[in-house]
A and B are shown apart, each in its own frame.
Chain A
Amino acid sequence: MWHKNDGKPSPEVPQPPVGGTTKSQVMPPETPAALTVEPAPIAPTPAPRVTIPEPVVATAPAVNGASRIQAGLKIHGEISGNSDLYIDGELQGKIRLGGARVVIGPNGKVQADIDAGAVTIEGSVQGNIKASESVRLGAGSRVQGSVVTPRIGIDDGARLRGKVEMVKAGSTPSASTAAAAAARATETEAPRPIAASAKAE
């Protein structure tokens, strides 16, 4: 099937030089016309499909309709409002987005206190996080500061330096945590947010 020996002289095929070469070292013939190229036979059964694992690319969860701070952008200041926000750049300051969703992408670097509805972190955050719904720390996340939320999800590999505190779902973070913090201050001395104090100095 692959080779017909019909008595005709076979076209000249360049032979490897003495000493031998590996297949990858064989150079193409100088006269390609000397070669006869036959169409490849159709295999009766499909060859097993080889799946090549896709390279691991740091991707952030998509946030449809969110305002985006793309990688390469640096922002200093306060961001407030009620729109979802995706940060893959750098931000320094404060984020106050009520019940909106905030996503810190894998390239995102945030040095700010975050007050939002749901916070998902794949990048790094230095600051205190308050979320009225949930906080999720992705596998590549690095967080320095306290996390106050009714629900928290921590992927293996996440790095957290700070405290985790649970509040009742639906409570406004700013109001509840302020009251809780005041109560704690009299009840017991709570650890200071490490990152905030360390970086502030």
Chain B
Amino acid sequence: MNWMAKARPSNTATTPGSSAKAPASAAAAARSRAPEKPGPTASVAPAGNVRISNALKEFLWLLSDVPRARILDLGPVWQSTVTFFIEKGYRVSSEDMLREWKDFLTTEEERLRMAPVGEEVERRSLPALAEKFIDTALNYPENSVHGVLIWDLLDYFDPAVVPALMNRLYNMLHPGGTVLALFHSRPAERFHRYRILDGQTVELLSAPTLAVHAHVFQNREILDLFGKFRSSKTFVGRDQVREALFIK
């Protein structure tokens, strides 16, 4: 499919990348979707913190011609996100990468700690650990995924881990596949999770901090990171969060 030859979607959204307050209907929808029984995340998350995402709108438009597209969400699984994609006929996979990475590191530390005294235990470097983790956590065949939602996770991974992750994501992506990523222009004050409310509205849920903000990517670094991708588009919001789309 020729992604670039597609007709542009009608621009009914607000100014690109604007993080202005969402329409009242979206905020109301966010409130109405707040869980009745608060879960671990919802208990600390004020409902209704939403942003208009033009990158998401574009992401969906790029996928609109792919029947039964496979979406990979690298955040936690949410009912609203799954329902949104399922209703479009897409297939959804979920990998809470940051949490899995933390669990993986904890397990690794435990392995080292519990090793018998005197026994030689292999201590792996961080990039080596990342390779091992990604081999198991992102065990998808090549060219099998049409869209990846990274959200802002790259900001929270150790910079030594990111290249391996990007390499794997690139291999998994179907030619023409799209990646949506967010980058903070300054260290994020709070750790957020993201879920999709509708075609251009994303809800931000404050969550217990899984990791500290590790790195602020500059434009040049972002382009280098996605150097293999053939096309990119960025939207800068008023909150200085950059939304970026990359097409393989």
- Binding between chains A and B: yes
Interface residue ranges, A against B (CB under 8 Å) = 137, 139, 152-166, 187-192, 194, 197-198
Q: Which residues of A contact B92 (CB under 8 A)?
A: 163-164
A164 touches B93 (CB 8 A): yes
B144, A156: Cβ atoms closer than 8 Å: no
Given contacts A154-B82, A160-B94, A163-B93, contact A194 B137 (CB under 8 A): yes
Q: Given A156-B39, A157-B41, do A166 and B86 touch, yes or no (CB 8 Å)?
A: yes
Interface-lining segment among B17-25, B72-80, B222-230:
B72-80
Is the CB–CB distance between A164 and B82 below 8 Å? Answer: yes
Pick the contact of A194: B91, B96, B139 (CB < 8 A): B139
Whether A161 lies near B100 (C-beta < 8 A) is yes
Contact between chains at A164 and B86 (CB < 8 Å): yes
Q: Contact check, B40 vs A156: say whether CB atoms are below 8 A apart.
A: yes
Per-residue A-contact encoding for B95-115, CB less than 8 Å = 1, 0 else: 110011000000000000000
A161 touches B94 (CB 8 A): yes
Chain A positions within 8 Å of B141 at CB level: 189-192
Task: Tell me which residues across on chain A come within 8 A of B39, comparing CB atoms.
Answer: 139, 155-158
A137 to B86, CA, bound (A): 16
Give chain A nearest CB distance to B79 CB in angstroms: 4
B contacts with A, residue count (CB < 8 A): 33
Asked whether any CB of chain A lies closer than 8 Å to the CB of B136, the reply is yes
* 12 A-B pairs whose Cβ atoms sit less than 8 Å apart in the complex: A137-B77, A139-B39, A152-B86, A155-B37, A156-B39, A156-B40, A156-B41, A157-B42, A162-B94, A164-B93, A165-B91, A191-B139
In the assembled complex, the CB of B64 is this many whole angstroms from the nearest CB of chain A, namely: 17
Asked if residues A188 and B144 are in contact (CB atoms below 8 Å), the reply is: yes
CB of B145 closer than 8 Å to a CB of A: yes
A166 cross-chain contacts in B, Cβ below 8 A:
86
- A159-B93 in contact (CB<8A): no
Judge if B187 is at the interface, Cβ distance under 8 Å.
Answer: no
List chain A residues, Cβ under 8 A from B137: 161, 194
Contacts of A158 in B (CB 8 A): 39, 77
Contacts of A194 in B (CB 8 A): 95, 136-137, 139-140
